[in-house]
Structure 1
Amino acid sequence: MANAVSSIVDQYGRPIRRELLTREVAGPRIGGVRSPISGYPADGLNPIRLANILRAADAGDPLRFFELAELIEERDLHYAGVLGTRKRSVAQLDIQVDAADDSAEAMAHADWIEAGLKRDTLQEELFDMLDAIGKGISFAEIVWDTSEGDWTIKGLPWRDPRWFRFDRNDGTTPLLIGSYDADGVSQTNLPVTPSGESLLEPMKFVVTAIKAKSGLPVRAGLARLIAWAWMFKAFTQRDWAIFSQTFGQPVRVGKYPAGSTESDKNTLFNAVANIAGDCAAIIPESMLIEFIESKNVGQGADLYEKRSDWLDRQISKAVLGQTATTDAIAGGHAVGQEHRQVQEDIERSDAKAMSAVLNRDLVRPWIDLQFGKQKLYPRLRIGRPEDKDVKLTVESAVKLIPMGLQVESSYFNDLLGIPVPPAGAAVLKAPAGPVAAGSFGDQPADMPALNAFQRMREVADPVAALADQAEQLCGPGTDALVDEVRAVVEHAASLQQVRDELLKLKPRIAERNLAGLMRMARVMANLTGRANIPDA
C-alpha cells in the first residue's frame, strides 16, 4: 500500500506524502497566524472604509473582506435567512454515485464511494462547503483514515478562508498561510514563500468556488454584491432607531412661573427628564409640564421601513433570484410558482457545481488511494430525483410490452423505489385463487370448451365465431347432460323416482363448462352489441 501511495500524484503532477494525508495540516493555532479569533471591520463601517477593504482583497489581502462577509451574515437576519435557505436546499439533496461503466470493477468503485459517503456529518460538511456561495470560495480539509487498512474519510472539517491567500500571479490559486511551525520548520514538502504561504497539499482539500458573477474568486461571491446594500441598510436602521428614540415619545416641556428659584427649576428639570423612564414625577402646583406630539411620526417611520424592505428585496433577488418566497408581495399563485422555478434553477446550478467539485477533489483522489489510477472514475451527482409520471409509465409498458417493447425489470424497481431482491430471497407472489367463469387465464386440459373459447378472444367478431363453433363447443356438455338424464330414466320405476334422482344429480365438469360457456357468450354478445351502437 505504501509503495502504491508514494507513486500517486495529483492533477498537477505533485507527489503526495502519506503522513500528511492522515493528520490535520490546516487547523487553527492560538498564537499563530491561523488564529480562530476574528476582527470586526463592520464596526463603524462607511463607504471609504468599505472601498478600501474591497480594494485590499483585490490586491491579494482578503482578510478583512472575509471577516466582513461573516459579520454581514451574523448581523443581517434577512441575508442570513435567504443565504441559509439556499445552502440548506442543496446540502439536504440526495447523492447518487454512477459507475464509470458496466464492468464489475467499475460497479465496485461506485459502491465503495457511495458506502463511504453514508456519514451522519456529511450534510453539515456540505453546508460548510457551500459557504462559497457567500464568500466566493470555501475550504474543507480531508482527514483520511487508514486504521483498518482501507482509505476512508475521518472528517471534512471546514477551514476559515481567512487562513488562505491567493497567488498574486493569477489571483485564483489558493495558498495556505502558516506553513512553518513554532520552530520555523516547514510543515509541507511544497515550496514556501518568505511570508510562510504554500500551495495546498495534494489530495488534502476540497476547494469549492461558486460564482455569483464571473471574475476572481474573491470578487465572485454574494457577499461582495451584498456589502453595499448591507451598509446602506445599516445606515437606515441606525437613523430609524434614532428617529424612534427621539419622536417615539412626545416632547416634554416644563414651565415654571416667574420668580422661581434655582432649586425649583432643578426640581422641574429632573421631573421632565425622568418622566420617560419612570412614567411618574412630582412637581409644585405652580409648575406645568406639557407633552408635545410630532404630527409626522408615522410618515417618517414608514420611510425608514420602506427603504429597509426595498433593500431586503434586492438582497433576496441577489441570493435567490426572486422575492416571492421570502417577501409578502402581491402576485397570486401563478407568480409564486414562477418565482419558485427560478429558485429551483439556482438550486440545480449549485448542485451541479458542488458535484463537479466533489468529483474533482474527493472522488478521484479517493479512488486513486484505494484502487490506484484509473482510466475512468465514478461520478457523483447531487440533485432531486426527476419527476416521473409512474402511472403513465406503467400503463404504457403494459400496452407496449406485448407489442415487442423490451424493458429491464430493474428499471421498474428503480422507478417504484423497490430494491431488486437478492437471490433466494422470499418474494411476494399473486395469490392463487379459483378461476372465475369467463376468465382468460390458463385452463386445465380437461376443460376443452373454455380452452376453445379462450382462443376466440382475439377474433374480429367473437359472437359470430361462437355461433359457428356452437356445436363443437357445446357438444361435450349437452351430450353428458343427456346421458345422465337417460340413465336416470332407464333405471327409475316411477316418475316420482325420476324426480328424486334428478334432484340428487350434481353437475360435472362437462356441464360446468357448458354453463360457463353460456355465461361468457351472453356477456360477449352484450358487449358486442353495445360497441356497435353509434355515438349520438
Structure 2
Amino acid sequence: MANKPVLLDRWGQPVKRAALTEEVAAATLGGVRSPLSGHPGDGLNPIRLANILREADQGDPVRYLELAEVIEERDPHYLGVLGTRRRSVSQIEITVEAASDEAFDVEMANMVREWLDRDELSDELFDILDSIGKGYSFTEIIWDTSEGQWQPARLEWRDPRWFRFDRVNLATPMKLDDHGQEVPLEAFKFIYANVKAKSGLALRSGLARVAMWGWMFKAFTQRDWAIFSQTYGQPLRLGKWGAGASEADKNTLFDAVANIAGDCAAIIPESMSIDFVETSNVGASADLYEKRADWLDKQISKAVLGQTATTDAVTGGLGSGKEHRQVQEDIERADANALAAILNRDLIRPWIQLEHGPQKRYPRLKIGRPEPEDLKQIADALGVLVPIGLQVSESEIRAKFGFADPKPGDRILMASKPDITPPAASVGTAGTETAPQSKFEYRLNTLPPKSGVLAPQAEQSPSEAISGAEPVDALTAQLQEAAKPAVAAMIAQVEIMLESAGSIEELREMFFAAYPNLDASAIGRAIADAMEAADAGGRALAETTSG
C-alpha cells in the first residue's frame, strides 16, 4: 500500500499528525510562557516609549505587547473604538461556498457549515482580531479525532508575547519552546493573523503604535488637569491671626487652612479668621485641558474607525451623516475579507487536507454583509426582458425577494390567461351590459398534492363544443378551437409589448427581437384545415339539400 503524501504547511514544515491533538502553547506559571505581564506604562515618557518601540522593531516585542495591553485597560476611548471594530466583524454571518456542484465538493462545504454553527465562534473570531490592535495574533487549533475524523474542537487565543519572528527577515513567525528557544510553528497547528493598519512588518503594523503616543499625551493632559482642579477648583483659603499670636497659634491656623478642603471643617481661636478668595477665570482655563483630551480622542477614532461621527461628532455637523458610516463600512469590509482569507488559509485548507488529503479545490469562507438590492428595479427589468425571451431562474428571483418555493397543496397567487376578446361591452343574459374582463387579473390557484404543477383550467372539450350542433357549425367550432392557442399566445405577447414599449420605435425593436423568424406554421395548418372542412361541409350540405 502506497504511503500517504507528506503534508507541508505554508512555511514548508511537515505535518506531524500525532502532535496535533495536544496543546503545545498553553501557559505555564513557572515556565517561559508565563501569564503574568509587566506594566511598562507606569511612569511612561517620550524617551521610554521610543525605546520600547525601537526594541520591537529589532525583534524584541515583549514590552511593546505589554504596553498595548495596558492602554486597552487604561484608556476607555481606545478600548471602546477598538472593541467596536473587532465586534462588528466577529458577529457578521459567515457563508461557505462549495468549490463546485459535484457531490464531494458539496459534502466538504456542508462539513464546514456544520462546524461553523457554534456559539463559541464569535468569541474565537474576536480573539483572532486582536491582531488589529497589536499587529498580529496567534490562535492554537485544538484538533479532535475522537470520532475517527479530523475536526477542530476549539480555537484558543495565545499570548503573542510567547512568539517571536525569525531574526533573518523579521517576518516568519516562531514559537518559544519550553527552554526559551525560538523554533518554527508546528504545521497545521496555529492561525497566524496579520490584519495590517499599514504596509510593512507585522511588528510595525498595529494600531497600538499610534494609540500609545495619543494615550501618553492624554495621560499628561489628564494629570495636569487633575493638578489644576485640585489647586484652583476650590477657593484660596487665607488665614489671618491677631497681634501677639504665638508660633503654636500660627501652626494651628496653618493646619486648619491646609486641611479645610478635605475635612470641610476646622477649629481656630476666636482671634483668628479664614477668608476664601474666589478665582474668576477658572472655568475658561479648565476648558483647555478638556479640549486637548477630546482632540486626542478624535485622532484615535480616526486611526481605528477611519472617522469620528460615530463616536465624537456633534449632532448636525457637516459630514456627520452617511459618508462617515460608509468609511466605517469600508474598513469593516476590508477586515472581513482579511479574516476570511486567514481562516481559509490556516484553518479550512489544513482541515480538508487532514480529512481528505490535498485537493485541487477547497470550500471557501466568505464574511460580509449582503449588499442591498433595488427589488423594484429588478421587477421592472423582468417585466421587460422576460417577455422578449430572457430566461431567468425562478428560484434565484424568489431568493432575492425572500419568497419560499411553493410546496404541493399551497395556494398560489398567479396571473390569469389574457382575455383576447374585443374590449367592447357585451350584452348579458338579462340584457344589461357587462364590462370587459381585464387582460391580467390575479387569482388563487392550488398545486396538486403530488405533482407540484399548476392545475389546468377547466375548459370545454371539442367533443362537447360540437355536440348537438349542425355539421358546418361543428367543424367551425373545432377549427376555432385548434387555432385558438396559437393566436392567443401571439396576441398575449403583442399586448405585453404594447404595454411595455415607450414608443413605436421601441415596440418595433421588441417585436423583431421576439419574432426574428416568425413561425406561422400553426396558423397555416389551421387555415388549410378550415378550407378543407369548408369544402367538405359544402358538399355535405349540397347532398342534404338535393336529397
Q: For this structure pair, what is the TM-score category when the shorter chain's length is used for normalisation?
A: 0.7 to 0.9
Residue number among 400, 412, 420 corresponding to 1:430 in the alignment:
412
How many corresponding residue pairs?
443
The answer to whether residue 205 in structure 2 is matched with residue 206 in structure 1 is: no
The answer to whether residue 181 in structure 2 is matched with residue 196 in structure 1 is: yes
Per the normalisation by structure 1, the TM-score is 0.77
Q: Take 1:458 and 1:406, find their aligned partners in 2: how far apart are those partners? A: 15
Matches within 5 A, 1:48-127: 48-127=47-126
Shift of the 398–82 alpha-carbon distance from structure 1 to 2, 3 Å rule, reads same
Q: Which residue of 2 aligns with 1:283?
A: 268
Q: Which residue of 2 aligns with 1:381?
A: 366
Structure 1 gaps of 5+ residues are 181-194, 463-536
Cα deviation, 1:175-229, whole Å, max 9, x if unaligned, reads: 111344xxxxxxxxxxxxxx51211100011110011111110101100112111
The answer to whether residue 325 in structure 2 is matched with residue 343 in structure 1 is: no
Q: Which residue of 1 aligns with 2:349?
A: 364
Shift of the 56–333 alpha-carbon distance from structure 1 to 2, 3 Å rule, reads closer
Alpha-carbon distance, 1:102 to partner? 2.3
One-letter amino acid of the structure 2 residue matched with residue 223 of structure 1: A
Other structure's SS at 1:156 match: strand
Q: Please identify runs of 4+ aligned residues in structure 1 that moved more than 4 A.
A: 1-4, 330-334, 417-421, 431-437, 439-443, 446-454, 456-460
Shift of the 367–30 alpha-carbon distance from structure 1 to 2, 3 Å rule, reads same
Shift of the 457–128 alpha-carbon distance from structure 1 to 2, 3 Å rule, reads closer
Point out the more displaced range, 388-397 or 428-437: 428-437
Does the aligned pair in 2 maintain the 1:166–1:172 contact within 8 Å? Answer: yes
Other structure's SS at 1:108 match: helix
Alpha-carbon distance, 1:286 to partner? 1.6
Shift of the 269–335 alpha-carbon distance from structure 1 to 2, 3 Å rule, reads closer
Shift of the 250–433 alpha-carbon distance from structure 1 to 2, 3 Å rule, reads closer
Q: Take 1:432 and 1:101, find their aligned partners in 2: how far apart are those partners? A: 34
Does the aligned pair in 2 maintain the 1:98–1:380 contact within 8 Å? Answer: yes
Per the normalisation by structure 2, the TM-score is 0.75
Cα deviation, 1:430-473, whole Å, max 9, x if unaligned, reads: 2799999836684512698998799366677x9xxxxxxxxxxx
Matches within 5 A, 1:445-464: 445=460, 455=488
Q: Take 1:295 and 1:2, find their aligned partners in 2: how far apart are those partners? A: 91
Does the aligned pair in 2 maintain the 1:325–1:336 contact within 8 Å? Answer: no
Please tell me the root mean square deviation across aligned C-alpha atoms, in Å.
Answer: 2.9
Alpha-carbon distance, 1:158 to partner? 0.5
Alpha-carbon distance, 1:174 to partner? 1.1
Does the aligned pair in 2 maintain the 1:165–1:174 contact within 8 Å? Answer: yes
Does the aligned pair in 2 maintain the 1:135–1:222 contact within 8 Å? Answer: yes
Point out the more displaced range, 356-365 or 282-291: 282-291
Q: Take 1:236 and 1:11, find their aligned partners in 2: how far apart are those partners? A: 47
One-letter amino acid of the structure 1 residue matched with residue 56 of structure 2: A
Matches within 5 A, 1:1-20: 4=4, 7-20=6-19
Q: Take 2:346 and 2:44, find their aligned partners in 1: how far apart are those partners? A: 37
One-letter amino acid of the structure 2 residue matched with residue 60 of structure 1: G
Other structure's SS at 1:72 match: helix
Q: Take 1:206 and 1:343, find their aligned partners in 2: how far apart are those partners? A: 26
Q: Take 2:3 and 2:383, find their aligned partners in 1: how far apart are those partners? A: 56
Other structure's SS at 1:430 match: strand
Q: Which residue of 1 aligns with 2:32?
A: 33
Does the aligned pair in 1 maintain the 2:95–2:365 contact within 8 Å? Answer: yes
The answer to whether residue 311 in structure 2 is matched with residue 326 in structure 1 is: yes
Does the aligned pair in 1 maintain the 2:387–2:493 contact within 8 Å? Answer: no
Point out the more displaced range, 171-180 or 35-44: 171-180
Shift of the 59–12 alpha-carbon distance from structure 1 to 2, 3 Å rule, reads closer
Q: Which residue of 2 aligns with 1:314?
A: 299
The answer to whether residue 459 in structure 2 is matched with residue 444 in structure 1 is: yes
Does the aligned pair in 1 maintain the 2:32–2:178 contact within 8 Å? Answer: no
Q: Take 1:338 and 1:217, find their aligned partners in 2: how far apart are those partners? A: 30
Q: Take 2:217 and 2:17, find their aligned partners in 1: how far apart are those partners? A: 50
Shift of the 28–413 alpha-carbon distance from structure 1 to 2, 3 Å rule, reads farther
Does the aligned pair in 2 maintain the 1:179–1:197 contact within 8 Å? Answer: no
Q: Take 1:418 and 1:427, find their aligned partners in 2: how far apart are those partners? A: 16
Matches within 5 A, 1:158-197: 158-180=157-179, 195-197=180-182
Q: Which residue of 1 aligns with 2:513?
A: none
Residue number among 245, 255, 272 corresponding to 1:270 in the alignment:
255
Residue number among 225, 232, 240 corresponding to 1:255 in the alignment:
240
Does the aligned pair in 1 maintain the 2:78–2:300 contact within 8 Å? Answer: yes
Does the aligned pair in 2 maintain the 1:32–1:178 contact within 8 Å? Answer: no
Alpha-carbon distance, 1:272 to partner? 1.5
Q: Which residue of 1 aligns with 2:153?
A: 154
Matches within 5 A, 1:383-532: 383-417=368-402, 428-430=410-412, 438=437, 442=457, 444-445=459-460, 455=488
Shift of the 116–418 alpha-carbon distance from structure 1 to 2, 3 Å rule, reads farther
